[in-house]
Structure 1
Amino acid sequence: MSREPSKSATIREIARRAGVSIASVSRALNGKPGLSEALRDRILAISREIEYRPSAAARQLISGKAAVVGISLGRQEIELRPYYILLYQHLTLALHEQGMVPIFFAHDQTATLPEQAGAAILLGGFPDDTRAAWLIEQGVTAVRIGEAGEGFSVAPDDRHGLYLVTRHLIAQGRRHIAFLGGELAQPTPHPRLQGYRLALAEAGLTEQLMSLPHEAVAASLTSYRALRRRLAEAGGTTLPFDALVCATDELALGCLAALEDHGIAVPEEVAVTGFDDLPVLASGLTTVRQDIAAIAATSVTLLGEALAGKPPRHVSVPVELVVRQSG
């Protein structure tokens, strides 16, 4: 008598039994090159033995060319950002666990994506980003990791996160709170800037914006240079701010270095906060933690829904304030 398929049978279990990586199992299940025939047969035999059954989302995804998912960056330079490296790692794992084969595409390679992939996850959205619409025209289903808009998308609750951290500073008695982020003059403010403004408006405080240029260099170096210039302009006068709310952890690290070089005590004279709670980088930094693994997993779930023809939706992933020494 045949037994019921094990609900716990997953690609991870196949990989463990075969002594190979999840990526190798994915290649074997999808008939992709890169494995010896002996190893492929062994992996397939194990999958039959444990009666592996992909999830509903995976069954949609592993149909034809859609088994290959292109992970597309918005701009080439964000490859330098630790946040996107971490997100890419989680996306790779989430896709492999569904039997998918991820392929990386830099922004200037977007035109080649439809030739190699049947679906895409888009990172690093920016104003006038037309990738999603263009890919759909080419028959490639796309999910964005970014702000709500047309189609399927997922993002951390940026607005609420910056609201929380700004309210935290106000509760400490900070009254001259500056926001530091990239290209703040955009017609539609980023949700993180919106959260900062909401908290200030409720407290009756005046905003201070420090807009950074879009540069193909490390974010920390950009913020360090900008704040050094601002402090030099202030000279020996009273500091124009008693707190810096930074759009990312990396920007906050640059500000911490600039303040230290000027002999300004943190948090006694100026509090500094970030956003992301990146491992190692955010040590000692008051910041907003986002669940990067959950964002990656949700994007893969949405991809399955999109391929199944379900109505588009946006998912906002909750965030959390983490208070440490810097503010």
Structure 2
Amino acid sequence: MVSEGIVFNRALQLAPFINLFERRGGKTGPVLRAAGLEHSDLSDPATLITGNALYRAVEEMADALDDPYFAARAAEEFVKAGPVQARQSFAASHTLAEFLPLAIIEIDTQISNIRYSLQINAEFTLIRGERTFTPAAPIVQADAATASIWVTLLRLVAAEEFDPSRISVSAQENAGIPADLVPRSSFLKRKWNGVQIGFPSEWLKRPLLLDWEIPPTRRGEFQNTSPREAVLQWLEKACLEEIGERSFGIKHLAQRLDVHPKSLQRNFTRLGTSFQEIRDKVRRERALEILDRDSSALNEEIAELLGFSSAASFSRAFKRWTGVTPTEFRKNR
């Protein structure tokens, strides 16, 4: 099964789950590989991973521990410690009413798998999170984590006023939501692509008296790149990893991303580029790197490394990129 749409999220989102998983004795290597990830993908919290990879990794962790409530518990710990994704919102707020709109805006700059919105009337408030893609990976743990994040926040803020029977949670699945988090009577099963949490609007007046010691932003945790630039960098990296395969094309990249090729093509269009342009850019930069390092490298060798069918086709492409042939380039060095 392939999903419709493509989303990228920062590796930071996966950190709370990996931390709990490893503390409980889990081996992350097999889990990450099953999700199409490697440890190197998580070396920088700002690194992009796909939405499907995120969902798959968390499902794999829950399965490995044989714990259906794994994601909900990890999310609960995450919120109690102080979610780093809401640093600025927490610092600028004194009440839940001030915090929620700011947090939703701040979170939106860091993730793209869910778009949150807030609906408030005198009686009831709704936090609505709708996925921006149709996942190829299971959603049981993903829905449980989302519900747990917001319900845990409400429990911390409402304190003695908190009453779980006054909360409503709507999602496709509740198999990953423990009964002590949300009673079954408060859960509404709905066939829609997201999670919705409702609570009494009177709780919005509650002060934000949370024992959060959110650390300052670490160097490199959030890259100073636009979402477009970050996605383009990810796509270039993916092409570079496969560039030596002559058969590598948009269908192969779509398969890696668990999306339909047409959906991937639409994303390239929205980014103002194409698969061919990305592949050309990667090939050009790699060719120049090889020739700068070793001017004696043969055209046949470079052509094979870059996935060209022949030395002649590489030479034609190189002249199109630079205005000179590889031979002329070597002479001008």
Is TM more than 0.5 here?
no
**Higher normalized helix content (fraction of residues):** 2
The TM-score with structure 1 as length reference comes to 0.28
The TM-score with structure 2 as length reference comes to 0.28
**Higher normalized strand content (fraction of residues):** 1
